[in-house]
Amino acid sequence: MANIKSQIKRNRQNEKRRLRNRTGRGAARTAVNQARTALEGDVAFETKDAVLKAISMLDKAAEKGVIHRNNAARRKGRLMKQLAAFNAKAQGPAVEPKAK
């Protein structure tokens, strides 16, 4: 336990911030997990909505400083890459093979 008055205050501030950051980080993590689950499914419009919600939550967390902006960008990029692969798989092959 700290004896210095400023450190006692700093500990109180850190605890408040930790709890505030925890909710934002948890909400972003939940949204990302829901998006990944949706990507494993087969309903296209639900998948897109889940990914967009996850991206929004990551942006909010990065904006508030809960996670680093590069961390958010990396996660968003991975989600978009998975969404693109999902869409490509759903549409089938892009070019049909030539018949001889």
Task: Output the six-digit token pair for 50.
Answer: 């889940």
Contact 34, 81 (CB under 8 A): no
Asked whether the whole model's pTM tops 0.75, one would answer: yes
Residue 95 lies in a domain: no
- Count how many domains the chain has: 1
Residues 51/83, Cβ–Cβ less than 8 Å:
yes
- Provide the CATH number for the domain around residue 55: 1.20.58.110
Answer whether 54's CB lies under 8 Å from 8's CB: no
pLDDT tens column, 59-94 = 999 999 999 999 999 999 999 999 999 999 888 765
Alpha carbons 39 and 4: distance in angstroms, whole number: 52
Residue length of the chain: 100
Domain that holds residue 64: 12-88
